[in-house]
Amino acid sequence: MGTSQGNARRRRESWAAALFIGPDLIGLVVFVLLPILFAVYVSFFGWNLISPMKFIGLANYRRLATDSDWWLSMGRTLQFAFIYVPVLFAISLGLAVAFTKLTGRTSAGLRSAYLLPFAVTSVIASTLWMFLYQEKTGYLNAFLNLLGIPDQPFIGSPAQAMVSVVVVVLWINLGYTSMLFFSAIRQIPASLLEAARLDGANGWKTFWGITFPLIRPTSVFVVVTSTIASFQILDIILVMTRGGPANATQVGVLYIYKRSFDQLQMGYGSALSVVMFVILLVISLIQLRFTRRNNLEG
Amino acid sequence: MKSAKRTSRRAAVIAVVAVLGAVTACSSSGGAGPTGGTSSGASNGPVTLEFWSFYTGSEADYVNKWVNDYNAAHKDVQIHHKVVSQTDYTTTLIPTALANGTAPDILYVEPATFTKYADAGALADLTPYYTDDLKKDILPAVLKSVTYNDKLLALPIELETLGLFYDKTALAAEGVTPPKTWDEMKADAKKLTNDKRFGVALPVEDTGYTLFNFWPYLWMAGGDIKKGSDGKYSIDTPQMAQALDFYGSFFQAGSSPKSLQIGPWDVGNVATGVAAMQESGSYAIKATETDYKAASIGVVPLPSPDGGKGITVAGGQKLAVNAASKHIKEAADFIFSGFGSTDLSVASGWVTQAKFAYPARQSVIDANKDIFNQGLRADFTNFYDTARPEPSYPAAVTQALQTALQDVMFGGSTGADAAKKAQATANAG
């Protein structure tokens, strides 16, 4: 009797699990897995989206190997990642530590304030920052003028455009990432920190000796996801600069977008996407492997 | 125990498959065939044609009225009108819809998309629906712009030309008269630039719109892009270098904003004081009479190198029919009833009420002479005969030219270097 009741309950649970997982699984297959497989398939064809596809074997891949504009755009993606990931990591970790030192309403208020930009859609955020960046009439330049610094072109300058875009992406994501670190730090047992203090460790030593190693899983998560996000950056650049000026912000995904839709080279665009996918996969695996090894050694 | 586990696992799998099946069934019932258009029509019911536009405001209202009037007068054919975002329309939406067989029966094309779609065989041949009178009524250069391999693949509905808008107050305050030559335009732009304002706003982004604004300068320098007998396009010419140098000079001198907060076509750049002068089109006139009524805005022809009669460019939308449509005849009847008929009401209303543009047909111009001589329209009408239709080139050529413009604006390149590079990229194959 007991066993049969148990079986019935397990059956019900399995049904419930299937119903909960089902829609997500379908979404994953339909919107992620199938498009990836289709992109791989299309990458072996010449296809302008409208005429019938023409099988051309590895020609798209041979072409991208010598496409200097593609590799330049990948270089700009790396440039974005090299600025964005460390700065995001450092500032949001610093903010999280500061949040833990504050108490009560100040801490909650500050956390909410930093999280607010995360709720703003990227297009709105981009437009807002374009107002701020405007030369001669923008608030940011008005502020610089007060400090005696002349007007800066920001997104209108090949030298400043990438950093200007990174600032917007940071503005959006700092609050969220600092919340991740904040939660991780709050989960460290107080007894460990107390023991360190009794042993005479100062705040700096406690941070490097206890806090930082113990929040490693969150650190890895932040580095991996922000690296992936860097490689996928498109919407903000599309709104703010469309890759300009003079291609200074033409990152890899934008190059793929332009090839695929502006020039209707869907086969070539798919081959570029596949290569980017492989690059991202390799970077993520290296990051995960590196961390796992550190964890084991630690 | 084991068997119970297996049963529940099987149940879970069945559940997942059932939901998947349901979703697939839902999606397939609403989809269209893989190759056909989206029109439908049972043997005894009316034919329904899909028509996608991207207009907003008075233009959208006008298109809706046209569709509703047509539907009321035609019980056997019904037009289903859908409005989508303009950015999506010209980039991802139509190509992907053409790819998966869900593209509308009736669509708008412009020079950039016309060639792309025509190259791909996506546009139906409309030659049989053109009467001889209609062909004669349409300005010859415009008719040529919708001709592809001797076939007429679209119906032009408007012409939008470019001019130089300026803030009358700002120019008067600096004692500047609107420029007539290239040298005057450079000098005026510099003089009108101060701490709070730029001299002249020009399009800056790496887009077809920037190229559209550049064509008149190339033509005024005596240049053009031709396809040689070797299949290569002639871009690296002294005239191209001269025009590129001219366009880039405003950015290198700091007289033009290097990024624009509002669209480069929006005359608000002059009205709100971003710049004292701005290159924009006849489509901006309506805003000067409504949104920016308080500003004192004038317009002159684009300056020419020596102050002689300049050249402007005429863009504008054309209506086309999807080659995969199952009802090409009905779709053609709809667009020709509006913009190709001897009844000029729809064609006239479009360029005089919905918006301000020039019609593609002489008869429509003649029928609305008074309107074309009101306010800033009179200025545009004065140089209307200097317009050349926006040319249409393969994407590799237009992208190479857009890059050349970026190079002279921001990359510190000379016109000659940028033209040389563009020649190589455009013809790289």
Residues of A in contact with B122 (CB under 8 A): 50
Of the candidates A15, A26, A50, the beta carbon closest to that of B117 is on A50
Does residue B35 carry a pLDDT above 60? no
Q: Confidence class of residue B194 from pLDDT cuts 50, 70 and 90?
A: very high
Which pLDDT tens digit goes with each residue over A212-225? Answer: 999 988 998 899 89
Please report where in the chains the tokens 């023991």 appear, as a residue: A195
Put simply, whether B410 touches A (Cβ < 8 Å) is: yes
Angle between helix B238-252 and B208-220 (nearest 10): 120
Residues of B in contact with A11 (CB under 8 A): 4, 7-8, 11
User: For an interface test with A, which of B410, B414, B417 has the most A Cβ atoms less than 10 Å from its Cβ?
Assistant: B410
Does residue B409 carry a pLDDT above 90? yes
Closest listed residue to residue B263, CA positions, set B207, B307, B188, B328: B207
Identify the H or E element spanning B199.
strand B198-201
**A-B Cβ pairs (cutoff 8 Å, strict):** 133
User: For an interface test with B, which of A49, A62, A134, A261 has the most B Cβ atoms less than 10 Å from its Cβ?
Assistant: A49
Q: Which residues of chain A have pLDDT under 50?
A: 297-298
According to the model, what pLDDT value does residue A240 have?
92
How far, in Å, CA of B53 to CA of B56, rounded?
A: 9
How far, in Å, CA of B381 to CA of B360, rounded?
A: 13
Which pLDDT tens digit goes with each residue over B271-302? Answer: 999 999 999 999 899 889 888 989 999 999 99
By three-state DSSP, how is residue A94 classified?
A: helix
Put simply, whether B253 touches A (Cβ < 8 Å) is: no
Does residue B5 carry a pLDDT above 50? no
CB contact under 8 A, B410 and A248: yes
Closest listed residue to residue B103, CA positions, set B68, B60, B51, B57: B51
Put simply, whether B23 touches A (Cβ < 8 Å) is: yes
- Cα distance from A69 to chain B (closest Cα, Å)? 11
How far, in Å, CA of B395 to CA of A70, rounded?
A: 17
Is this model's pTM higher than 0.90 or not? no
Let me know the angle formed at the C-alpha of A40 by A55 and B95, rounded to the nearest 5 degrees.
70
Domains located in chain B, CATH noted? 47-159+316-388 (3.40.190.10), 162-314+394-426 (3.40.190.10)
Of the candidates A50, A153, A244, the beta carbon closest to that of B205 is on A244
- Cα distance from A151 to chain B (closest Cα, Å)? 9
| Cβ–Cβ < 8 Å for B410, B384 | no
Domain extent listing, chain A: 66-297
How far, in Å, CA of B78 to CA of B75, rounded?
A: 7
According to the model, what pLDDT value does residue B38 have?
53
Does residue B32 carry a pLDDT above 80? no
CATH topology of domain A66-297: MetI-like fold (1.10.3720)
Question: Would the CA dihedral through B235, B236, B242, B246 be positive or negative?
Answer: positive
- Helix ranges restricted to H, A147-215: 161-186, 190-198, 203-206, 212-214
How far, in Å, CA of B364 to CA of B343, rounded?
A: 10
Put simply, whether B105 touches A (Cβ < 8 Å) is: no
Burial class (CB in 10 A: 0-12, 13-18, 19+), B121: middle
CB contact under 8 A, B15 and A156: no
How far, in Å, CA of B321 to CA of B116, rounded?
A: 14
Q: A230-255 b/e with 16+ CB inside 10 Å = b?
A: bbebeebbbbbbbbbbbbbbbbbbbb
Does the model's ipTM exceed the 0.85 cut?
no
Does residue B265 carry a pLDDT above 70? yes
DSSP designation for A119: G
According to the model, what pLDDT value does residue B43 have?
55
How far, in Å, CA of B352 to CA of B358, rounded?
A: 9
How far, in Å, CA of B13 to CA of A279, rounded?
A: 34
Task: State the number of CA atoms in the 13 A half-sphere of A117 facing the CB.
Answer: 20
Q: Residues B35-59: what's their mean pLDDT?
A: 75
Which pLDDT tens digit goes with each residue over B62-109? Answer: 999 999 999 999 999 999 999 998 878 877 889 889 888 899 999 999
User: For an interface test with A, which of B26, B91, B206 has the most A Cβ atoms less than 10 Å from its Cβ?
Assistant: B206
Put simply, whether B204 touches A (Cβ < 8 Å) is: yes
According to the model, what pLDDT value does residue B116 have?
83
| Cβ–Cβ < 8 Å for A55, A134 | no
Selected residues 107-126 of chain B with any CB under 8 Å from a CB in chain A: 116-117, 119-122
CB contact under 8 A, A11 and B11: yes
Chain centre distance of CA A251 = 14
